[in-house]
Amino acid sequence: MRLVVVLALLLGTAAPAAALPQVEIKAQTRLALGKVRLFGDGLAEVAGQLTDKLTGDGLGDQRVFVKIGDRMVDVVTKPDGSFLTRIEVEPGPQTITLSYRGTGVIDAAAPYTITTDPSRAQVTLALVKTDDDHDGAQLVVNATADELAAKLDVTIEVGLPTGEQMRPLQRVTSGSKFLLSRGKAGGPGAHLVRATFVGDTARQPATTEGTIELTSGSTTTMDVAASSLAFEDDLVVTGRVRDDDGVALPRAAVTLTSGDRRLAQGVTTDDGTYHLSIEAAQLGAGQLGVQVQSDPGKSFVRASRSTPAVIRVAAQQPVPVSYTIIAFLATVIAAGGFFFARAKPWLRLRKAAVASEVEAEPSADAPLAGGLVSNRPSIVATLRRPYDDGFSGVVRDTVRGRPVAEAVVFLRFADLEREIRTASDGSFTLERLAVGEWTAEVAAPGHVTEKFVVSVPHRGELRNVRVDLVPVREKVFQLYRRAAEPALPEARLWGVWSPRQIVDHVKARRPTPALAELTDFVEELYFSPRLAAETVLPGAAERVDKAIRERARPAAPPAGAS
């Protein structure tokens, strides 16, 4: 059960306790009414459940208040979040209100209010998925009234798994199948489906809901620019990847293959198209068949293959001597241009950009790194003594390049301390710093704290600096690479596949217990909307080391082997 994650950003052991900011992320809750039935004269039995709105898990040991008319009782939930209580009622229809006031770590639930007559028959609804359909899923709502099967008029709603953006879908009769199509639900994936019976003169109102995952196939097309190629030509392949509803699938991994050979790899663009190219010389002279395989990287969209195409590559022809001479001259000219461009003599004529205006350029193969990016003092400044006693710049997310607002910049020198929070554009300025070596710490929720030294006075290199902060979830995924990369078909796919594709692939490979536990941990932390605490890093590193050690450990011999 997911409850509360409290992120504490520690600004140094010598910082005052009042300067320690805290960000609380509370569990969001939902109340559901199970039944209201007359138990005896003037006494009604009320049952329901308190759940986590995000995960659907029950919340146990929590106090729920039940109010009917002017009477109110409280009841403590069981471990699965369910509760059952009895309360005095007047004859006839009654307004019933369930409420949960929350705790320091769990948000209060929105009050659940319904008007019903406990003397009427208790209605129970159950939403069942019977089978998959090409256009979606076949569902049925089963209904009972006082535990006897009943035919009721039920309203169906559909929305996001969190219960948000619910909208009416259709009216059905309980016990009869109906189609939940992807087109009406909003596409493939998980959807919350809610069935409601409003009640009548003989039966109480009732509601039920469940999360239904709608799956879809995919279609991959392939167009070959030319099926007959010279040995010196390139094979160019383009196409598009769509789901069964004709919707483009962006960021799908595509692979050009010939038999068991992988010739080229790439990903689709936002409109689902792709472009792959390979030298015909790598294919070799002769005739071969090629095909494109696509993997959308989503559990609810199936992979697909294009129709194969036959390619013919002509044999290599001798190169004329004149071509060799021309190629040599072109190489000399290109080399001269390269070294001239690398020297960049024209940069001496323009003013160098300050660090705060230069965007960080993270690489898929290079480890993420944060820290201080200072400026070079001007030529004139280097001829003068250090004179500047200020420190200014911006704090940015090193992955997205966005400014980090409300980041804490804390400086300490001897008994002196200075602190400031960044503005909405990530900027900060500290003036009139005492002469000396200041220890600086920059921290923000969900990011790894950076520490460095600020020397005052300086020659301007600490003006308009850039402080890069690495998100904690990205740091954890970087640690995860050591354990997960060997499980990929090819190591280079780490820079091609999305994090979701990598996690799903590792889970599908039936990993070792330690790697499976690590993968579940990374999936929860990386894809959760909640900010990850910096304190999870040591534990993440230990999980990675454990998974690597377990992979290196030789397999145990079969039972009975000598």
| Per-residue pLDDT tens digits of the chain, which is 562 residues long | 444 333 333 334 444 444 445 545 566 888 888 778 776 677 888 889 999 877 778 989 999 999 988 889 999 999 999 999 988 887 778 788 999 988 877 888 889 888 877 778 888 888 888 888 888 888 899 999 877 888 889 999 998 887 788 889 889 898 888 888 888 888 888 888 999 988 887 788 888 888 888 888 899 999 998 888 888 889 899 999 999 989 999 989 989 998 888 888 889 999 999 999 988 888 788 888 889 999 988 888 989 999 999 988 888 776 565 666 787 788 888 877 777 766 666 555 555 566 666 665 555 555 677 888 888 776 666 666 788 899 999 999 988 889 999 999 999 999 999 999 999 999 999 999 999 999 999 999 999 999 999 999 988 889 999 999 999 999 999 999 988 888 888 888 887 888 999 989 988 887 889 889 988 999 888 888 888 888 989 998 999 999 888 887 765 555 554 4
Query: How far is C-alpha 336 from the geometric centre of its chain's CA atoms?
Result: 47
* Whole-number pLDDT of residue 122: 80
pLDDT tens-digit series, residues 55-83: 778 989 999 999 988 889 999 999 999 99
Q: How far, in Å, CA of 400 to CA of 275, rounded?
A: 26
* Whole-number pLDDT of residue 292: 92
* Whole-number pLDDT of residue 2: 40
The domain 29-116 is classified under which CATH number: 3.40.50.720, 3.40.50.970, 2.60.40.10, 1.10.3720.10? 2.60.40.10
* Whole-number pLDDT of residue 17: 43
Q: How far, in Å, CA of 488 to CA of 497, rounded?
A: 10
For the chain, where do the domains classified as CATH 2.60.40.1120 start and end?
Answer: 355-470
Residue recorded with tokens 């900027």: 427
* 486-506 per-residue burial string, b: 16 or more CB within 10 A, e: under 16: ebbeeeebeebbebebbbbbb
Architecture of domain 355-470: Sandwich (2.60)
Q: For domain 123-214, give the fold.
A: Immunoglobulin-like (2.60.40)
Listed residue (551, 540, 453) closest to 511, CA to CA: 551
Architecture of domain 218-313: Sandwich (2.60)
Phi/psi for 283 (5° steps) reads -80, -35
Burial of residue 432 (number of CB atoms within 10 Å: 0-12, 13-18, 19+): exposed
For the chain, where do the domains classified as CATH 2.60.40.10 start and end?
Answer: 29-116, 218-313
* Whole-number pLDDT of residue 284: 82
pLDDT tens-digit series, residues 402-445: 999 999 999 999 999 999 999 999 999 999 999 999 999 999 99
**Cα Rg for the chain, rounded, in angstroms?**
32
